[in-house]
Chains A and B, each alone.
Chain A
Amino acid sequence: MRHLPPPPPDFRARLAALPPDPRTAWEGLAALAAHALSPLQTNALDAALIARFPTPPAFAAAAPLRLALLGSATTEHLAPGLRVAALRRGIPLALWSPDYGQYQAALEGPDPALAEFAPQVALFALDAHHLAQEAAGGGSVAALLDRLAALWARARALGAVVIQQAALPVAPPLLGANEHRLAESPAAFLAAFNAALRARADAEGAHVLALDAEAALAGLGAWYNPTYWHLAKQEIAPAAAPAYGELVGRLLGAIRGRSAKCLVLDLDNTLWGGVIGDDGMEGIVLGQGSAGGEAYVALQRYARGLAGRGVILAVCSKNDEAVAREPFARHPDMVLREGDIACFVANWGPKPDNLRRIAQELNIGLDSLVFLDDNPMERDLVRRELPMVAVPETSDDPEQSIAALVSGGYFETLSITEEDRERTALYAGNRAREALREQTTDLAGYLRGLEMRLVWRGFDAVGMARIVQLINKSNQFNLTTRRYTEEDVRAVMADPAAFGLQLRLLDRFGDNGVIAIVIGRVDAEGDCDIDTWLMSCRVLGRQVEPTTLNLLAARAAARGAKRLVGRYVPTKKNGMVKDHYAKLGFTMVGETPDGGSRAVLELAGFQPAETFIEVVEG
C-alpha cells in the first residue's frame, strides 16, 4: 500500500485515546485508517473499531454496507482488513460469514441467518485449492463456472451484488512452460479458470476481484505463504490481509459510487523534471534524450489513458499561468495538451484554496479529487486542510507516481459508459458553451442559441451502466440520495407501479450524455411518489429542471397519477436542492426535524413551464 503515508508514531496512543463523542471517534478512526498500517496495526484498529461500534454507525459519510464473506477455507483473518479498508472510504461495514467451508449450503438453503442479514454484497472468496479440486475430480472449468453461476444467482436473489475472487495461482507446475498441455494439471486448471471467469462474470453481471493480476504485480509470495496454508488454511497470507481488504475496499467504493473522478496534477517535478519558471522550455526534463525524460512521458501517457476512460484531469501548480501553460502549448514532447485539462489553475496561492476552486469549477466534491504532487510539504498541507482529498505518496520520480496511482486504485470503475469515453469532449463542449454565453447579452438568447433537446427513455438494459453510475455518483443535485445497485434498478423495471426515466441532453455543441434520472411510483390513491430525482451538476442553469417536471408530470398522469409527491432528504452535500420543489411550484406540506421536507403538486391544474428545451422520446 505504497500510496498511503506511514502511520503516525503515536498510532497506539491515538487509538487508546479516542474521544467519547461517537462522530469524532469515527472520524479519528477513519483518519488513522488512512495510513499504510502493518497487519498488526490493522488488527488493532479493527479491534478498537469493533469495541467502539459493535454495529456500524448510521451517521457516517456513507451508508452502512452489509457484506457476506463466502469462503471455502479460513477467512476470519481477512475481516479486519476488510473493515479497515471500508472505514478508509468512510463506509461502515457489517460482515457475515457461514460456518467453515459452508458457503454453498448457506446459499442453497438459504441459511435463515444469511437471509436475515440481507447481504448487499456477496464476496466469493474461494481458495484456489478448493477450486482446483474440481480438476482432480475430472470436472471441467465450464462445469465449475456453471456451479458458481448458480450460486451467484442465489446471492443476487438475496439482493446482493456479486464479487467473485479470481484464483491465486498457488499450484506448482507439473510440466513447465507448456503446462496447459497437461489436462490433469491443477496449475493449468486454475489458469484456465481465471481466463474463462472474466467472460462468464460479465455475462452473469458479477464483478471480478483480480487476485491473479495482483499476484502478477507483487509476486505470488506477497500473497501466499504455504506455511500459513498448512498451519491455518489461510490462503491469503495474514501479512497480505490489509492489502486484500484494500483491494475489496476499492470495489466497495466503486459499488457505492465513492471512487474519485478527477486527477489533479502538480507540474514542476511531477509532470516534468525541473522548474519551468527557472529552467525554461529547453531546460525541463521531458521526452526522448534521457531516461528521466522518458519516465515523465510515461506518466503523462498514463494520465492520458485515465482521461480516455473518463477520469477528469486538472492542473494545480504554483507558477505564473502563462509560464505554466507554455509547455502544454509548445513543448514537442508533451503528451498532455491544454485540451486534455478540464481545469487549469496556476497561481501563487495556497494549494488547498486552489483545490477547492477546481472542485467548484468542475462541479464535483472535494472527495472526488486525487492530488498528485512531488512536494511533501504540499501533500502534508492538503492532507491536513482537506482530509477528504486523496493524496498519494510519491516523489519527483514519475515511476513512483504511476505506482502510487495504481496502488491506490482511486479510480476503480465497474463499467465504462459512453459518457466516460466522451468526458474530455464534454468539457471541451462546455468551453464552447461558455464562449457562446459571453457572446450573448441575455440569458434567454444564450439558452435559445444552445438549441437544446432533452431525449428521454424508460430504464433499459442499454442504459443500465450509466443509470447505476449516476444513482451512485450524484451527491449534490440529488433529492433523496437513495443508492441503488443494478439489482435494485431491475426491480424498478419489473415493478408495474414504478417507472424510471433516463434523460439525455443534446445541444448544438454536442451530446451531454445521460444527465438526469427520475424514478416515480404511483399508488392506488393516485399519488406519484418521486423516489429519486437527480441530475448531473454540469447542466445546471439550462432549464433542465422545469423541462424534466413537464415530462414527469405527463408520464405520471399517463399512469393515472393525480398528484406528484416530492421529498427532500438532506445530506451533507445536497443543500443546493433544498428548495427544488418550492421553486417548481409544489406546495410544501411538511418538514422533518433534520431539515427535510415533503411537497405536493396537483396535476389537475398543472401548467407546463415554457422552456427552450424540446422534449423528444428516443
Chain B
Amino acid sequence: MPTETEITAGLSEIFAEVFGREIALTPALTAKDVPGWDSFKQIEIIMATEERWGMRFSTRDLDGLRCVGDLIAVVAAKGK
C-alpha cells in the first residue's frame, strides 16, 4: 500500500513524462495552473497512473477529480 509521499513522488515522475518537464506538485494544483494540461494530457495522466499502480479507475473516481490532491486520495483509497 503506497503512502501519500510515495504516491506524490510517483505522480511527479508521471507528470514529468507527460509534460516533458518537471512539475512541482501540490495537492491544490489544478489543470488551470499548468500550461498545456488539456483533456488529452489529462487522459495520459490517468492512464499512466492506472498503469503505475496496477489499478483501474471507475467513472465515479474520475468525476471526482478536481486537483492533484483528489488524484492522490483516489490512488491511496484504491491501494488499500
Contact = CB atoms under 8 A, between A and B. Distances in A.
Interface of A: 12, 38-40, 43-44, 47, 76-77, 225-228, 230-232, 234, 238-239
29 contacts: A12-B17, A39-B47, A40-B18, A40-B44, A40-B47, A40-B48, A43-B44, A44-B17, A47-B20, A76-B40, A77-B43, A226-B59, A227-B56, A227-B57, A227-B58, A227-B59, A227-B62, A228-B43, A230-B59, A231-B43, A231-B62, A232-B39, A232-B43, A234-B43, A238-B43, A238-B47, A239-B47, A239-B50, A239-B51
Interface in B1-39: 17-18, 20, 39
B7 to A, nearest CB: 18
Nearest to B63: A231
B56 A225 contact: yes
A232 B39 CA distance: 9
B17 A40 contact: yes
A407 B17 CA distance: 27
Nearest to A39: B47
Interface string B51-79: 10000111100100000000000000000
A231 to B, nearest CB: 6
A227 B50 CA distance: 12
Nearest to B18: A40
Nearest to B45: A40
Nearest to A234: B43
Majority secondary structure, B binding face: helix
Contacts of B18: 40
Interface of B: 17-18, 20, 39-40, 43-44, 47-48, 50-51, 56-59, 62
Contacts of A226: 59
A231 B58 CA distance: 10
Nearest to A226: B59
A263 B58 CA distance: 45
B20 to A, nearest CB: 7
A39 B50 CA distance: 12
A77 B38 CA distance: 13
A435 B1 CA distance: 72
Contact of B44 (A12, A39, A76): A39
Nearest to A48: B20
B62 to A, nearest CB: 6
Given A44-B17, A238-B47, A239-B47, 11 more contacts: A12-B17, A38-B51, A40-B47, A40-B48, A47-B20, A76-B40, A77-B43, A231-B62, A232-B39, A239-B50, A239-B51
Contacts of A76: 40
Contacts of A238: 43-44, 47
Contacts of B17: 12, 40, 44
A11 to B, nearest CB: 10
A47 to B, nearest CB: 8
A40 B18 CA distance: 7
Contacts of A43: 44
A77 B59 contact: no
Nearest to B58: A227
Contacts of A44: 17, 20
A38 B50 CA distance: 13
A546 B16 CA distance: 64
Contacts of A227: 56-59, 62
Most-contacted residue by chain B among A44, A227, A238 (CB, 10 A): A227
Contacts of B50: 239
A44 B56 CA distance: 23
A529 B9 CA distance: 67
A43 B17 CA distance: 10
A231 B20 CA distance: 24
Given A40-B17, A40-B18, A76-B40, A231 B47 contact: no
A12 B59 CA distance: 32
A14 to B, nearest CB: 14
Contacts of B20: 44, 47
A-B pairs, 10 with minimum CB distance:
A230-B59, A238-B47, A227-B59, A238-B43, A40-B17, A239-B47, A231-B62, A40-B48, A40-B44, A232-B43
A245 to B, nearest CB: 15
Contacts of A40: 17-18, 44, 47-48
B37 to A, nearest CB: 14
A234 B40 CA distance: 11
Given A227-B57, A227-B58, A77 B48 contact: no
A339 B35 CA distance: 64
A47 B44 CA distance: 14
Nearest to A44: B20
Nearest to B43: A238
Most-contacted residue by chain B among A39, A44, A231, A239 (CB, 10 A): A231
B67 to A, nearest CB: 18
A161 B55 CA distance: 40
